[in-house]
Structure 1
Amino acid sequence: MLRSICAGLLFAMVFGITGCSSETPEEARDRQVKESVQELEALFGQLAEELEGELGGLDNKPEFDDSTAIGSAIRKADDLHTQGLREANFSQNPNYDNFSEAGDILLGLADTHGTAELESYPVKFSMIFYNAACAYSLNSDISKSLQAYKLSVEFGYDDFAHAAQDDDLINLRGSDAYKEYEMELASLAVDEAKNWAANELNSGESFDFDLNLTAVDNQPVRLADHKGKVVIVDFWGTWCPPCRAEIPSFIRLQESYGKAGFQMIGVNYEGDNTEADADKVRNYIESEGINYPCAMGDDVTQEQVPNFNAYPTTVFIDKTGNVRLKLVGLHSYERLAAIVETLMAE
């Protein structure tokens, strides 16, 4: 079920997916300690305001003409959903009947009038349909649950990670029909990633870049050793949250494409890059199962990247050794893989 408080607020404030500042790791840690206190104070203050606003907002009805038959039906569905949310916020065992009844109304309207008619109303249809899908799933009405879930996606629902773990949708997720739809969504995500990758590569700027470092396992890390391969060089630090969040995608890339002409390389920046810092990286490599070489970076390597201003910064190099793209911040596996596949196909 989707409650009225959005977990995205926490993610956006704490995670910082656009990247960490390019200041030195020591400066970053000092700054982060100070900012963490301020952020937590602001976070809890904002959460309190958000909670007050959300709960109070349940009484603030969206403005639209409900004098018509369709407007009246949408108003009733919205009111039922609002009552369901109110109960959910104050009960460990909320009654889902309001969600299913709201879903029944909107499913009927969608069948009769089409979704385009609903789009003109300022109502959170994605949330109403999602919670209706949960209610139907709990009642083992898989057909209606899938129909409502599809409509929630059509109206903008995209938190698929939440849906994949929502206990309310266990029955739905176990159905063959849902698994087929999940494959359709995955295919659409891949297509979107390919289009995005093509646009990024077309607009990407090249620059001279070379790499000659020593990995934390004392093996040489040289770009020249990987000519003929597509290479990603990731500038990162264990202290950087979005850097850490992107590591599983890089591990997966190496697993998926390593034998087909791809090489992942990590260039790490930790404090003063002392032996103690290298030990920290070694421990992180072991704990996370990193399957590609990671070297302690230096100024010479980083200064080759124009306008370097944040971690992680990811450099994509084609088979001829030319830099084709620089990305800053956290990106999805699908998009990273689309870039790799495009470069490998050249």
Structure 2
Amino acid sequence: MRRRGFRALVCAGVLTLAGCHRGPEVPRLTGTGSPYLRALWLPSVGPTPYDWRQLPGRVVLVSFFATWSFPSLAQLPTLEALQKERGAQGFQVVLVGLDLDGARTLAPFAEEYASLGIPVLVSDPALQQGQSAFGLIPALPASFLLDKEGQVAGAWQGMAGHAALSEAVQTLLRR
């Protein structure tokens, strides 16, 4: 588990798709999808429907954020635009809230930002402590782009620009 967490942390520091390569294969979990998709088996809050079983086979952008993080909030319009532009092509943005009081803060946030059309997930203690396939999240926002097989294909720490994200998503959608 530590090796995968370290790999995700290294990828999080890389700002270009080309710089984040796969390295050693992460073992697939039979019947449960990739470890990254499995880490998204979290409760959701707010009006946007979420079913983790619909993620396999899609390109997924997982954005870790907190409601108190200005850069996280400033990135929301970019994420909304990407979801609207590419959602029908097999793309899904998923927000994972790292607020320590969980649903108590994230539920009102999800209601307020319902127009984004992006599911908001509540992180669990294991994820908050870096004990998931994504490893420790060192800064917010942190975004991981998963390919159709659920493997990390790119990562951004801090705010990511629309053009860079859109190009990376489009490349994965074509595969």
What is the TM-score when the length of structure 1 is the normalising length? Answer: 0.39
Q: What is the aligned partner in structure 2 of residue 299 from structure 1?
A: 125
Contact 2:46 2:111 in 1 (8 A): no
Q: CA RMSD in A?
A: 2.1
Which residue of the other structure, out of 92, 96, 109, is the alignment partner of 1:263?
A: 92
1:335 aligns to what SS in structure 2? helix
Q: What is the aligned partner in structure 2 of residue 345 from structure 1?
A: 174
**Which has the larger Rg?**
1
2:68 aligns to what SS in structure 1? coil
Which residue of the other structure, out of 232, 240, 244, is the alignment partner of 2:73?
A: 244
Q: What is the aligned partner in structure 2 of residue 280 from structure 1?
A: 108
Q: Using the alignment, how far apart are the partners of 1:242 and 1:323 within structure 2?
A: 22
Contact 2:59 2:145 in 1 (8 A): yes
Give runs of ≥4 in structure 1 deviating > 6 Å.
none
Q: What is the aligned partner in structure 2 of residue 109 from structure 1?
A: none
Paired letter, 2:146: I
Contact 2:65 2:95 in 1 (8 A): yes
1:263 aligns to what SS in structure 2? strand
* Identity value in percent: 25
Q: Using the alignment, how far apart are the partners of 2:55 and 2:111 within structure 1?
A: 26
Pairing of 1:90-109 with structure 2 (within 5 A): none
**Residues 1:201 and 2:3 aligned together:** no
Which residue of the other structure, out of 219, 227, 233, is the alignment partner of 2:56?
A: 227
Q: Using the alignment, how far apart are the partners of 2:140 and 2:21 within structure 1?
A: 19
Q: Using the alignment, how far apart are the partners of 1:312 and 1:235 within structure 2?
A: 6
Q: Using the alignment, how far apart are the partners of 2:140 and 2:163 within structure 1?
A: 20
Q: Using the alignment, how far apart are the partners of 1:226 and 1:283 within structure 2?
A: 22
**Residues 1:322 and 2:148 aligned together:** no
Q: CA deviation at 1:221?
A: 4.1
Task: Mark the CA change 1:280 to 1:217 in structure 2 (over 3 Å): closer, same or farther.
Answer: closer
What is the TM-score when the length of structure 2 is the normalising length? Answer: 0.73
Q: Using the alignment, how far apart are the partners of 2:160 and 2:144 within structure 1?
A: 13
Pairing of 1:21-170 with structure 2 (within 5 A): none
Paired letter, 1:238: T
Q: Using the alignment, how far apart are the partners of 2:121 and 2:74 within structure 1?
A: 19
1:264 aligns to what SS in structure 2? strand
Give unpaired runs (5+ residues) of structure 2: 1-14, 27-34
Give unpaired runs (5+ residues) of structure 1: 1-198
Q: What is the aligned partner in structure 2 of residue 336 from structure 1?
A: 165
Q: CA deviation at 1:262?
A: 0.4
Specify which structure has the higher proportion of helix: 1
Q: Using the alignment, how far apart are the partners of 1:343 and 1:254 within structure 2?
A: 15
Q: What is the aligned partner in structure 2 of residue 214 from structure 1?
A: 43
Paired letter, 1:300: A
1:213 aligns to what SS in structure 2? coil
Contact 1:221 1:293 in 2 (8 A): no
State the Cα deviation string for residues 232-275 of structure 1 (Å, max 9, x = none): 011001110110111001000110000011011111122321x4
Q: CA deviation at 1:284?
A: 3.0
Q: How many residues align?
A: 144
Which fold has the larger relative contact order, with Cα–Cα distance below 8 Å and residues 6 or more apart in sequence?
2
Contact 1:230 1:343 in 2 (8 A): yes
